[in-house]
């Protein structure tokens, strides 16, 4: 384990550009929002100061609306598409910063986990480090509030306690079967041509989304550009509009965590109250989608007006934030651990694949359609520890550490063979390992 932690630390150093850690050396040569948060959580075990710098870089790209964009572009990096020339946010979006350049969509709000880790680790260090963490929290508190407020308002205009996404990339689970039906309604029109970079980096295109999927991804970007990425105008033009339960569950957890942090650090009562109210609203929102017996949650397609029940990780959203009655919660935990999921007899390790291995849509090598993602395991393990299930949390951690023991720190893994897939040296895989071992 010490050796694995040392390799993880070495990897993060290798991907460090100074004030930002690229998500991966070749495939993702920029900063991704939820990657950066996990990276900061991992970095906190090595250096609280460096973890703070990572979040500062990300927050320096926050839009005036409060949105944290899903990509902050590294100035000189090439080899990624769609880059800033395609998004054109600095030119088209009134609320985007001119510098650094960013994308125009968002990603799951795991950032408070990093803040928590910064505070945790600083407590074990001397006074100077504690001061760095405190100063950071005081300085960024208003930005964290703006971020959460933007999600709770701009992305839940009807106050349903469910976050609306306008692009599958916002879920972080780009090509999950969760979004197949919603993407069927996205019919690409005329748009500038493009060349994908991702498939030349990942040699096997079968591990990445298809070209038809990419056309739709890019078309949605064009739709956003047509209204200058204006939150008020997006509902009228976007061909993809879904309520994401997994994102919403993370948000509920993050609001609750931030409320505790705020209380501990004497932040305004009104802020803490607001955070508690959002936590409650979104916990209920997630629970409201759950099946009456199994407790499995589902996304909702706002355009088709239909629930999207899938055998994917989305089902387990209530395990992250709570909100179910006890029988359904137990049923859902049994489903997670049982033979349709982590306990499937053909799986190498008892870890959650991104899609159930018994699902017809299961593809064990294809990105979010089957592979095991160490970072997702880490999120579940973190959430389970918070929910008062230390044994479940520890089991996920132990299994995941066995999976990544090869030291490749891949983006995702084949669930039956443990083959490393996608990008190697993925920063957040290393960061998750560091957090577990640190
Ligand atoms: C990619 O480029 O594959 C990312 O997931 C999009 O953000």
* Residue identifier of the C-alpha nearest atom 4 of ligand 1: 169
242: phi then psi, degrees, rounded to nearest 5: -130, 155
Which helix (H) or strand (E) segment holds residue 420: the answer is: strand 420-421
Nearest to 379 by CA among 25, 54, 176, 111: 111
- The confidence band for 1, taking pLDDT boundaries of 50, 70 and 90, is confident
C-alpha dist (Å) from residue 371 to 94, 114, 193, 357: 39, 25, 30, 10
Token pair recorded at residue 211: 């070209």
Q: How far is the CA of 294 from the centre of ligand 1 (A)?
A: 32
CA 327 to chain centroid, in Å, comes to: 28
Please say whether the beta carbons of 165 and 67 come within 8 A.
no
- Quote the CA–CA distance of 191 and 285 in Å, as a whole number: 37
| Residue 203, pLDDT above cutoff 90 | no
Which helix (H) or strand (E) segment holds residue 430: the answer is: helix 427-437
* 340-378 per-position pLDDT tens digit: 999 999 999 999 999 999 999 999 999 999 999 999 999
Please say whether the beta carbons of 2 and 36 come within 8 A.
no
Ligand 1 close to Cβ of residue 34 (< 6 A): no
- The confidence band for 69, taking pLDDT boundaries of 50, 70 and 90, is very high
Q: How far is the CA of 198 from the centre of ligand 1 (A)?
A: 9
* Residue identifier of the C-alpha nearest atom 6 of ligand 1: 169
Ligand 1 close to Cβ of residue 367 (< 6 A): no
* 400-414 per-position pLDDT tens digit: 999 999 999 999 999
Q: Given CA atoms 115, 117, 123, 127 in this order, what sign does their dihedral have?
A: negative
* 143-181 per-position pLDDT tens digit: 999 999 999 999 999 999 999 999 999 999 999 999 999
* 87-104 per-position pLDDT tens digit: 999 999 999 999 999 999
Q: How far is the CA of 381 from the centre of ligand 1 (A)?
A: 24
Q: Which residues are catalytic?
A: 174, 411
- Quote the CA–CA distance of 2 and 141 in Å, as a whole number: 35
* 265-292 per-position pLDDT tens digit: 999 999 999 999 999 999 999 999 999 9
Please say whether the beta carbons of 37 and 429 come within 8 A.
no
Determine the Cα angle at 194 with ends 190 and 195, to 5°: 150
Q: Which atom of ligand 1 is nearest to the CA of 81?
A: 2
- Quote the CA–CA distance of 372 and 364 in Å, as a whole number: 8
Q: How far is the CA of 71 from the centre of ligand 1 (A)?
A: 9
Ligand 1 close to Cβ of residue 169 (< 6 A): yes
């Amino acid at each position: 384990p010490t050796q694995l932690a040392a390799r993880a630390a070495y990897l993060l150093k290798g991907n460090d550009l100074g004030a930002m850690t690229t998500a991966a050396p070749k495939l993702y040569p920029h900063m991704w929002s939820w990657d950066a948060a996990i990276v900061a959580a991992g970095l906190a075990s090595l250096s609280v100061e460096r973890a703070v710098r990572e979040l500062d870089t990300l927050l320096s790209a926050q839009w005036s609306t409060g949105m944290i964009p899903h990509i902050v572009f590294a100035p000189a990096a090439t080899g990624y598409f769609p880059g800033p020339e395609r998004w054109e946010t600095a030119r088209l979006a009134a609320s985007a910063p001119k510098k650094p350049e960013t994308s125009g969509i968002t990603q799951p709000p795991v950032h408070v986990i990093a803040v928590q880790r910064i505070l945790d680790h600083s407590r074990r260090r001397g006074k100077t480090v504690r001061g760095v963490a405190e100063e950071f929290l005081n300085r960024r508190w208003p930005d964290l509030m703006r971020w959460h407020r933007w999600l709770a308002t701009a992305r839940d205009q009807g106050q349903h306690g469910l976050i609306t996404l306008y692009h599958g990339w916002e879920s972080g689970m780009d090509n999950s079967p969760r979004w197949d039906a919603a993407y069927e309604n996205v019919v690409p029109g005329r748009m500038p041509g493009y060349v994908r970079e991702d498939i030349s980096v990942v040699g096997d295109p079968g591990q990445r989304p298809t070209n038809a999927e990419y056309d739709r991804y890019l078309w949605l970007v064009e739709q956003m550009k047509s209204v200058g990425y204006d939150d008020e105008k997006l509902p009228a033009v976007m061909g993809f509009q879904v309520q994401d339960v997994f994102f919403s569950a993370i948000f509920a957890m993050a609001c609750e965590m931030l409320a505790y942090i705020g209380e501990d650090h004497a932040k305004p009562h009104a802020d803490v109250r607001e955070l508690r109210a959002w936590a409650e609203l979104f916990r209920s929102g997630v629970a409201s989608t759950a099946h009456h017996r199994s407790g499995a949650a589902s996304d909702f397609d706002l355009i088709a007006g239909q629930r999207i029940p899938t055998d994917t990780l989305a089902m387990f959203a209530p395990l992250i934030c709570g909100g179910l009655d006890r029988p359904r919660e137990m049923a859902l935990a049994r489903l997670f651990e049982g033979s349709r999921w982590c306990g499937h007899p053909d799986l190498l390790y008892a870890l959650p694949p991104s899609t159930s291995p018994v699902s017809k849509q299961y593809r064990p090598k294809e990105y979010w359609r089957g592979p095991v993602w160490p970072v997702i395991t880490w999120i579940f393990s973190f959430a389970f520890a918070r929910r008062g299930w230390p044994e479940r949390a520890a089991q996920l951690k132990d299994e995941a550490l066995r999976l990544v023991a090869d030291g490749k720190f891949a983006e995702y893994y084949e669930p039956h063979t443990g083959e490393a897939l996608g990008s190697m040296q993925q920063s957040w895989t290393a960061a998750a390992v560091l957090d577990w071992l640190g």
